[in-house]
Amino acid sequence: MSLRIHLEAEAEIETARAYVEKQRPGWGARLLQELEEVLRSVETNPCQRTLLETVPDGASFRRVRLRRFRYNLIFEVLEASVIVLAFAHTRRKPNYWKARGIDD
């Protein structure tokens, strides 16, 4: 299964990395390392992740919460690919990312 990251999700990842690094030097790299582990896991077994409870039934959106950081990786499982739509802080407004198109 292929994995793609939405451009806005890439920007959110970089923003989170920079913020965490500013708060605690060296932790930006830890965030990226944990995210990389999560991405590999999602690419291998995306359907083993939690269905997102804030979207309508039948939607294929899922989430993974990072262990050490307050961020969720939000993604959609399609036939042959996984699209990462957001890297959202757990206290951020839910579903703000829903307007993002897959081809944006």
β-pairing verdict for 81-89 and 2-5:
parallel
Q: What residue spans define the domains of the chain?
A: 2-93
pLDDT of residue 43: 92
Task: Considering only the C-alpha atoms of the chain, give the largest distance between any 2 of them, rounded to a whole number of Å.
Answer: 42
Q: Which pTM does this prediction carry?
A: 0.86
pLDDT of residue 104: 47
Taking the C-alpha atoms of residue 85 and residue 99, their distance in angstroms, rounded to an integer, is 10
pLDDT of residue 101: 60
CATH architecture of 2-93: 2-Layer Sandwich (3.30)
Instruction: Give the pLDDT mean for 26-39.
Output: 97
Mean pLDDT score across all residues of the chain: 88
Taking the C-alpha atoms of residue 99 and residue 35, their distance in angstroms, rounded to an integer, is 23
pLDDT interval class at 58 (50, 70, 90): low
Instruction: Give the pLDDT mean for 68-83.
Output: 92
Taking the C-alpha atoms of residue 94 and residue 1, their distance in angstroms, rounded to an integer, is 27
CB atoms within 10 A of CB 40: 11
